[in-house]
Amino acid sequence: MNLLFEFSFSHCIAICAFLVPANLLLTLWTILLVGRKDSPAQMYLAMLAASLSALILLLHDFTWFAIGVVMAPTYILLVLACVCLSLNLWAIAYPNSVKQLLNGLPTP
């Protein structure tokens, strides 16, 4: 467990620099696949990848909470990971409502 904490603290900038865009892009990928009505296998793969990156970000964030580092970036990362995880679960659990929402958006 100490190894995980040390890794998280030593490489915080690199972890966040990778996981923040990864969370956003993979969540967008999941939503777009649901909106395009692609195969369920692709949607589940996208959801799995996006959820895994969100869970890793949550784990990284919780290591900072465990030592008492409570700052704005800690909460921002926590909210980002929770929102991405929630959107992915919503897209897989209720794909019809996501499709309906995407169909209601104005086209350029």
pLDDT at 83 over 90: yes
Spatial distance between the Cα atoms of 54 and 22, rounded to a whole number of angstroms:
9
Identify the residue whose tokens are 């580092």: 69
Single pTM value for the model: 0.86
Residue 108's pLDDT is 65
In degrees, rounded to 5, the angle at the alpha carbon of residue 49 between the alpha carbons of residues 45 and 53 is 165
Q: Quick one: what percent of the chain has pLDDT higher than 90?
A: 56
pLDDT, the chain, mean: 90
Q: pLDDT grade, residue 38 (50/70/90)?
A: confident
pLDDT at 39 over 90: no
Residue type, 29: W
Spatial distance between the Cα atoms of 20 and 78, rounded to a whole number of angstroms:
11
Helix (H) or strand (E) holding 75: helix 72-93
